[in-house]
Amino acid sequence: MPFAIGVDHPKREVNIGTLWRSAMCLGAALLFTVGRRYEPTKQRGDTVKAYRHIPLLHFPTWEDYRDHAPFAWTPIGIEIGRDATDLRIFHHPTEAVYILGAEDFGLTNEAAALCKELVVIPSRFCLNVAVAGSIVMYDRATKKRNKEDGRR
């Protein structure tokens, strides 16, 4: 069950590094950004050198992303401020691309329009982008494991 995770216009490099580490630990095939606003220096949050295991791709625009996106993978937006399915009842597609909003303004309308479905993590307040991505990937792994074990 391959999947990728990306961030729409990320602002902080430490969040990308932390998300990269989680993506490697939780089985992502790749990590990507669209319209990054941070300096692509050493990713301080990537303390396990995830770059040795999975790629981090940078796309300047959503048009560039669309030109290179995995063909049959379902784009899923992770968003707090729109009508969205609760993560607790969400069924992850076999091949997925999870798109997270930026730290300061969430998903752009352009990114949200690409998504086949929007998912919300039930929380009192918005979460850090690396934390939100880690929760979604953990939920995917847990539901996959439960399905394989015959549990719901």
CA atoms within 13 A on the CB side of 72: 4
Please list the rounded mean pLDDT of every run of 10 residues in the chain (152 residues): 93 89 94 86 68 91 93 92 91 97 90 96 91 98 82 64
Give the model's pLDDT for residue 3. Answer: 97
CA atoms within 13 A on the CB side of 50: 25
